[in-house]
Structures are given as C-alpha cells and as structure tokens.
Structure 1
Amino acid sequence: MNFALILFLITLATGILWLIDVLYARKLRAPGSKNPIWVEWGASLFPVILAVFALRSFVVEPFKIPSGSMIPTLQVGDYILVNKFTYGLRLPIIGTEIVGGNAVERGDVVVFRYPPEPNVDYIKRVIGLPGDTVSYQNKQLSINGVPVPRKAEPDYLHPDRMYYSKQYQETLNGVTYDTLNDSDAPAFVPDVARFPYRDQCRYDSNGFVCKVPADHYFVMGDNRDNSKDSRVWGFVPDANIVGKAFFIWFHWGDLGRIGSFR
C-alpha cells in the first residue's frame, strides 16, 4: 500500500472542497447556519491533513520495523522516526530532489523504496557508496580491500526462538554497531536475483564481491544470515532513498527500547 499516495490524494480532495467552500459555497450560506456535512468532514479537515502531509513528506516520518533483518540494532515491532530532510528535500510520491542535503554515509541506517517493488519501504544499513568495492568473504566484510574492524561479543540469544547467534561489534566509518552471524548458515549467497548491474558482482562459495555503480548504494541487514538485501536483489538507487532512521519512539511491551540507536 502506497500510504504517501493515499495521503496525497486525501489532501488534494479535501483541499478542493476547502477551496469550493471558501470561494463559493460559504458566501451562499445564511449567517449562523450549520455547515453541511461535506464541509464538516472534508473542507474543515484540510488544514490538519495538509500539515500532516507536509510534516510526513519533508520533516519526519514514522516507520514500524516489520522483520528481524536489523536485529540486534532494531527489533520487530520497534516504531522509529525517519529524518526526511537530512539527505535533502524530495518531492513526495516521485522522489525528485529539490534541495540538496548531506551525503549518504557508510554506516547510516536508511529507509528506502525497495527496488523490485518501489511501493514497499525497506530499512537496512548502508555498507557501500558509489564506486566502492564491497566484499563479504567467509562472513568478513571488506570495503575497497580493507577489512572492516570487528570484535567478538557474547553470543546473542533470540528470545522469540530461543537460539543463539554469534555476535560481533563492527565499526564502519566511525559508526559502531552489532551484527549477528549464525554458525550453521552458509557463507555463499542463495537465490540471487537478476538485478540491474548484476555484472558488477561476482559470487562464489565463500560469498561475493560487488562494485557499486554510480548513484547507487549497497545495503545489508545487521542480522547478516537472516536478511535479504543488496546481496540478493541488488543496489539501491539514490532516488529511492527516503531518509535516515534516527530514533526509536515506541515499542509495545518494551518501553526500555525508546531512545536513539546506532
């Protein structure tokens, strides 16, 4: 469901009703008469809906984490906020940039329109920038031939399924975060799609090596063996970037998760 499009259409419809009321219908009503239903439930709501649409389109957007691909950084059911202007302002629906902003950086957690299905929003961590060579061999991440520093941490217990994953603290571009690996999961990437610039990637039994094309990014989930990401469906075009995730504002049953994340 394209909620942004639905909200835009509602804003447009109530805006038309508001204009009809202000420019024409209001002048025909007797002083002190009750507003008709289409004014009460349409035109009068326009300022509120317009404010919501503008806030969601250009400032901040709420997003709910639907899967475990970003565990342990983000849990299923986390409600997060996404900064819509840090990378520049974009037109709603079509995503065309109208005002420039900060560059996307390695280590950022971003929400983006899923390339195979642009109506669906995904969230992952940016690993590779345009021109980077990203390598993930035997579950060791390297950027441009340099291994990304990591150190082992205590195993992570998945409370929902009661099993342990290997946990590592990884540092990328000065950003420190935790990743998970499952010992019994293979290093190779299964079910690779035929995505644009697929020829920029080489896959083998130990993993992959990809050269990131211009105006694209390579993203991965922190739950490395339980995330379908750029390894499987390809690169994220710059035009698909929605914003930068920066705050957990709610989680049913675990209020302790409220706050920022890495």
Structure 2
Amino acid sequence: MLFFFTPRYIKEARRRLCVVYKALRYQKDLLTPRQLRRLRDDILQLQAAIRQGEKNSVIFSMQALEKYTLQVMPRRNYAGWRESVEMILVAVVLAASIRAYFLQPFKIPSGSMQPTLFGIVGQPSPSPPPPLPARILEFIVYGRSYLNVIAQFDETILHIEEHRFLNFFTFTQLKGTKHTYWTFAPSSTLYSCFGVSEGRFYRHGQAIARGMVTSGDQLFVDKLGYHFTSPRRGDIFVFRTLNIPKIRSRRLEHAAFEHYIKRLVGVPGDTLRIDSPLLFVNGQVALESRLRQVMSCENGFQGYANVPSSLYLATPQETFTVPPNSYFALGDNSYNSSDSREWGVVPRGSVVGRALFILWPFSSRWGWIH
C-alpha cells in the first residue's frame, strides 16, 4: 500500500539501482578492482540517500552513479535486441529442459482411447462452412476446422503427401493431374472419413472433401513420476514403439518416431483373460475403478472385446501372463484398438510416462486425465 505514496524520484532511483545491478552481473569481470570499489561506493551513497528521502540528495547521487556507470560500462549497440534474444534463448532452453525431463506434449493420433481421449475425427457435410468469425472461434475453443476442397478441373488425385507444422498441426497435400490442393487434415482422416485416395477421379465442381474435422486431444505426459513409482493398472500411459517387434515389422520406416497411448491393464506377473465385456486379472474381474468404468458399457464405453484374429486373448478361454519388466496395454475403445492383443507387451524401458492433463481443445474432457 505504501508503494502508491512513494515519491516518484525514489521509485526512479530504485529502478536505476536495479539496472546497475544487472549491468554488474553481466560485466563485473571486465572491471578493474578500482572501478568496482568506486561503483560500490556510489551505490551505497544512493542507497543512503534513498533511506534519508531528501530529494536533491537522491537526484544528485542517482546522476553520479549513472554517469560513472556509463563511463566504465558503456551501453552496447542493440542492447534491446540483445536482451530480447537472450530472453528467447532462455525460454527455449527452459522449454527443452521441461520437455526432456518433466512434461512432454502429445497429440492423440487415433480413436483407440475413446471416449476417454479423442483422436482426429472427420464428419462429412453437404453444407458449406460457417462464416469466418465462427470458424475462428470454433477452432480456438473446440479445435474444429472446416474443409471445403472443390475440384477445379476434371482430374484424378495422383499423390497424397502429409506435412506437419510445430509437430501438432497436420496438413495434407493432394496432387491432381491439373491442380494441387491443401487440406487441414491428416491423410488417414481424409481417407477414412471423406473417401479421398490416390487414383480417385473427380469432376469439375465436385467436393473432394467438405465437412468438419475436430482435432485430436493435445495433452501433457508426466515423464518424471515413473522414476519414483511403478506404473499401475488403470494408468493411461505413453510408450515408444521402437522395441516392440511386431509394430516395427509393420511400420519399419516410421517405428523409430512413433509413440502410442493406451491404458495399462496388466503388470508383471498378472494373468489376464477377456470374456467380453469383462477383463479378468488373476482369476477375478478387474477391481480398478478405471477398468470397471470401461467394463460398465455406459457413457460411451463398450467393454473389452475378444478379437478372433488377435494373437493374444482371442477367445474367452485364453489367458496370458505378463512377463517380467513388461506391461499389457489395451485401448478403451476395445473394438477399434490396435494394442497388446495384436502386438504383445510393452517393455519397461519403452515407457515414456503417464498421461496427465488435456490442454487443448477446451472441450468437456479438458483437464486432468483419469
């Protein structure tokens, strides 16, 4: 409260002291002992004048300190730019450190964890997009964008190429025989939701892709917690796929860069069995509340499924015992999930961390992840 009644010259003197302190921290090693003593004497003199509060004394001491400071530590060219670049570099280093040791951003790539977490969803529509202000608002709040790609000629799509921006936003380039189109959606969504594929022919004026695309949930992964506690049943966790042979053999060229997100349902030593919609752990129905929520078949959940084509747990009678230093992972959307039933266990060394917080979009799922 007293700050508002402090005279302006006192505030200015304190600000000048802060500037001198900062300059000293950067250039102290360039000064001689005599210059350092003189600067410290001038600083002490200004501090004493501030305590006394006499205006002329404060102004005189402030001017003397500033004059000598500029004499021994002259202003460098582009000082403002230097400070801005320095702040940016510090921010980059800090962000890189946080990403490396504490929190890693992650984007849900598919619908295998629905309805807990959503991947990119496309919805075709015959109607044109809404006005621009509405589109901007919907994108900021809900991560929703609109496609309205119309064929400019009678032509065939020859090549489809996907690009990423800032590792979060995905664009797809559609190269036709006469024209090239750009869409704000991944190629998999264009194919599965809008039927766009290489070799398909479109008439002039025909909609190649028209409708709505909702971005996948963007979240933070806690990389630190599992250094102190072991992963537990019911956790949603992220892991690298490089050391999972059946995934590597399927996607050799991309495996080194891929991460998956699933729910951990089995820890080392657990014997698992699925009798749809139930998951059995060591002979009894799973007790964890998050697993029971999936098995409830309520609020969008469908329970766990036996898939006859799977390598593991394909029938209600089949069991699987999780080996040491491994985890068994299933998607909450069990009927549409590629998980441990198909490619086996997750090695302990491949675990990145636990899914922590949905940071965007600001849907009903925004917040802590369970």
Instruction: Judge same fold: TM > 0.5, yes or no.
Output: yes
Aligned structure 1 segments of 4 or more residues deviating by more than 6 angstroms: 39-44
Relative to 1, partners in 2 of residues 1:261 and 1:34: Cα closer, same or farther, differing over 3 Å? closer
Q: Is the 8 A contact 1:110 1:245 kept in 2?
A: yes
Query: Which of 348, 353, 364 is the aligned partner of 1:238?
Result: 348
**Secondary structure of the structure 2 residue equivalent to 1:217:** strand
Give structure 2 stretches of 5+ with no counterpart. 1-25, 27-73, 120-215, 248-254, 296-300
Query: Which of 82, 86, 95 is the aligned partner of 1:52?
Result: 95
Q: Deviations over 1:2-34 (max 9, x none)?
A: xxxxxxxxxxxxxxxxxxxx9xxxxxxx98345
Relative to 1, partners in 2 of residues 1:34 and 1:226: Cα closer, same or farther, differing over 3 Å? same
Q: Is the 8 A contact 2:236 2:355 kept in 1?
A: yes
Q: Is the 8 A contact 2:106 2:221 kept in 1?
A: yes
Relative to 1, partners in 2 of residues 1:138 and 1:177: Cα closer, same or farther, differing over 3 Å? closer
**Secondary structure of the structure 1 residue equivalent to 2:293:** strand
Does residue 79 (structure 1) correspond to residue 218 (structure 2)? The answer is yes
Number of the residue aligned with 1:211: 321
CA distance in 2, matches of 1:139, 1:175: 11
Give structure 1 stretches of 5+ with no counterpart. 1-21, 23-29, 89-100, 149-170, 193-200
Does residue 258 (structure 1) correspond to residue 350 (structure 2)? The answer is no
Q: Is the 8 A contact 1:250 1:257 kept in 2?
A: no
Query: Which of 90, 108, 120 is the aligned partner of 2:235?
Result: 108
Number of the residue aligned with 2:288: 172
More helix by share: 2
Counterpart residue identity of residue 306, structure 2:
A
- CA RMSD in angstroms, aligned pairs only: 3.1
Relative to 1, partners in 2 of residues 1:189 and 1:172: Cα closer, same or farther, differing over 3 Å? farther
Counterpart residue identity of residue 92, structure 2:
I
Counterpart residue identity of residue 147, structure 1:
V
Matched-pair identity in %: 32
Q: Deviations over 1:147-188 (max 9, x none)?
A: 22xxxxxxxxxxxxxxxxxxxxxx526765335338xx9733
Q: Is the 8 A contact 1:189 1:208 kept in 2?
A: no
CA distance in 2, matches of 1:56, 1:119: 16
Number of the residue aligned with 1:221: 331
1:221 Cα shift? 0.5
- Mapping 1:93-242, distance limit 5 Å: 101-114=228-241, 115=244, 116=247, 117-148=255-286, 171-172=287-288, 177-178=293-294, 180-181=301-302, 187-190=306-309, 192=311, 204-206=314-316, 208-242=318-352
1:222 Cα shift? 0.6
Larger mean CA deviation between 74-83 and 173-182 belongs to 173-182
Relative to 1, partners in 2 of residues 1:256 and 1:141: Cα closer, same or farther, differing over 3 Å? closer
Q: Is the 8 A contact 1:212 1:235 kept in 2?
A: yes
Counterpart residue identity of residue 103, structure 2:
V
Number of the residue aligned with 2:183: none
**Secondary structure of the structure 2 residue equivalent to 1:178:** helix
More strand by share: 1
* TM-score, length-scaled by structure 1: 0.61
CA distance in 1, matches of 2:282, 2:262: 20
Q: Is the 8 A contact 2:275 2:305 kept in 1?
A: no
Q: Give the greater-gyration-radius structure (CA).
A: 2
Aligned residues: 185
Relative to 1, partners in 2 of residues 1:217 and 1:205: Cα closer, same or farther, differing over 3 Å? closer
1:40 Cα shift? 10
Relative to 1, partners in 2 of residues 1:141 and 1:54: Cα closer, same or farther, differing over 3 Å? same
**Secondary structure of the structure 2 residue equivalent to 1:243:** strand
Q: Is the 8 A contact 2:278 2:285 kept in 1?
A: yes
* TM-score, length-scaled by structure 2: 0.44
Number of the residue aligned with 1:32: 76
1:216 Cα shift? 0.3
Counterpart residue identity of residue 221, structure 2:
V
1:207 Cα shift? 6.6
1:139 Cα shift? 3.7
CA distance in 1, matches of 2:305, 2:290: 29
Q: Is the 8 A contact 1:107 1:175 kept in 2?
A: yes
Q: Deviations over 1:217-250 (max 9, x none)?
A: 0010011111110000110011111111122121
Relative to 1, partners in 2 of residues 1:204 and 1:32: Cα closer, same or farther, differing over 3 Å? closer
Q: Deviations over 1:88-117 (max 9, x none)?
A: 1xxxxxxxxxxxx11110000101112332
Q: Is the 8 A contact 1:189 1:207 kept in 2?
A: no
Relative to 1, partners in 2 of residues 1:216 and 1:75: Cα closer, same or farther, differing over 3 Å? same
1:80 Cα shift? 1.4
CA distance in 1, matches of 2:90, 2:229: 31
Number of the residue aligned with 1:26: none
